[in-house]
Chains A and B, each alone.
Chain A
């Protein structure tokens, strides 16, 4: 009697980090292909296009430093996503938390402008952290008290804070010399100190790296980190282990918000020097993509953020040298994530040849 052979798809018991890495590589290769296709559609020489993309990102020492500058807010919003998603808290409000951090930082700047920079700059940073944390606290409390999903409230907060900022910039904080909704420029002495000569890389980058180490230690070494991981794996079991889910959720949302708030201060006092509605080029949303690609590992956020920072700068050069709009970068980012998620999901399964029992 011959047994018929057939294919069976079954779920893997364990997904190794190698599979994760292969998924990421496959996603990147596919995304590069799509990028090439988009360049082709845009009637641009594909080779020249990729060279421009690379040159803008890592082509020179100056480009590399600029890439680190662009990566700074991305590291922070990426970490903000990591800590929340690790606990399976769907904070999508990084954008609002970033802006509210910037708003609070600017408030500190206008109120304590008589202080010397050495005192005022730490106060500014503190206010940004508090601002972001407040913005994370509100949806967390709404969830705690009324069991309303944080996804919707954090997204609604993104819209609400945008209008709030616009309100501030058209009234109390408006630069009277300008038509546009923006604040006056930040005085030079209160800007974040520059790290290297003749470059723009500022204090914020150091803060982002410190934040990475802190979040890494927090998740891997502290009781709170244990609670976060337990909550993410199985909230019901976590509850039986005696973890106060609500308390942990509120704390996580505040930390997550604080990280994004810090990103807002960095952009305002380190790069843009005016409060306006274009401080963030969607850094909050990009942070979500970065965190996912980093497999929600804090240390992996840094290289992925640098890669994405490079992608941003590369796309600017691409726009100036060819006529490919720089918004290409948003397409690439989303496609990488889409492919990555699919590849990882597919690699969760394996194909096995089994004997058919019938």
Chain B
């Protein structure tokens, strides 16, 4: 009897934390989907999220307002991706190299700024903030099991999951979404029909950055009370993997995100109940899974035809 209770509690815990672990990756992956559908691969996603996580933390720490924190984090994400857009779309610098450069800049920049502001304090004594509290949705959160798993998260989590159908609708059911997708498939044709390739690619990339910014906000002010250097820990890269694994489709991206998040939630639970198993292997699991998923998912790729190629009129 007690055993059953315990098992149920563990399963609820794993599934509940799966939903919150999925949040930042889902934001970033949905944003990246829009950018990639327009033909631009944002390889700077990791740095974009990290910058946003840091900006969000700083703003909350200085102003005490979570609302401002989330707004500024998202804008910071948009700003970083704007740099990427200028370099790749306007200047035609290689998308991969630009992305890498921005990652290095973000990782160095946030570390530097963080140390500069808190150089007198040791890592253990860095300032703490009030992070975003979860909201139990009335009635729904009282549903046994499901209520705890799905309806007691913070605002950003609800938003992230809400964005999946919204982005699907935007990309597939609106004329604007069709335009963005046409840019990724054949920018030349889009150009000939009078669509400004570069302008619309800018918009798509910046939307992606704003989303990655929300993801970054969740990593810092959405889930913990402090900031760690490089705290996004590869979530941006995982989001890129997930877009590929999800075959550039919103519903599959959601599924892929949940699988990754489940793995991560599972390993956290295994660690916390003290099963004797080398935790490093569990920590490496999402990254190993990423490679395996990529290997198995390449057969029928629906990657945009012109992904990664900058467009120049002849």
Contacts and interface: CB of A to CB of B under 8 A. Distances in A.
Interface of A: 38, 41-42, 90, 92, 142, 146-149, 151-153, 155-156, 159-160, 163-164, 166-167, 170-171, 285, 288-289, 292, 323-325, 327-331, 333-335, 337-338, 341-342, 345-346, 348
Contacts of A167: 278, 280-281
Contacts of B107: 330
A159 B285 CA distance: 10
Given A151-B96, A331-B112, A345-B92, A338 B295 contact: no
Contacts of A329: 108
A327 B115 contact: yes
Contact of B112 (A156, A288, A325): A325
Interface of B: 43, 83, 87, 91-93, 96-98, 100-102, 104-105, 107-109, 111-112, 115-116, 119, 234, 237, 240-241, 244, 278, 280-281, 283-284, 287-288, 290-291, 294-295, 298
A42 B116 contact: yes
Given A156-B288, A342-B87, 5 more contacts: A327-B108, A331-B109, A331-B112, A338-B87, A346-B91
Contacts of B244: 152
Contact of A289 (B92, B104, B237): B104
Contacts of A163: 280-281, 283-284
Contacts of A285: 104
Contacts of A153: 291, 294
A151 B43 contact: yes
Contacts of B91: 341-342, 345-346
Contacts of B295: 142, 146, 148
B105 A334 contact: yes
A347 to B, nearest CB: 10
Contacts of B234: 155, 159
A286 B121 CA distance: 28
A325 B118 CA distance: 10
Contacts of A289: 101, 104
B290 A146 contact: no
A43 to B, nearest CB: 10
Nearest to B118: A325
A171 B276 CA distance: 13
Contact of A330 (B93, B112, B287): B112
Given A159-B284, A325-B112, A152 B101 contact: no
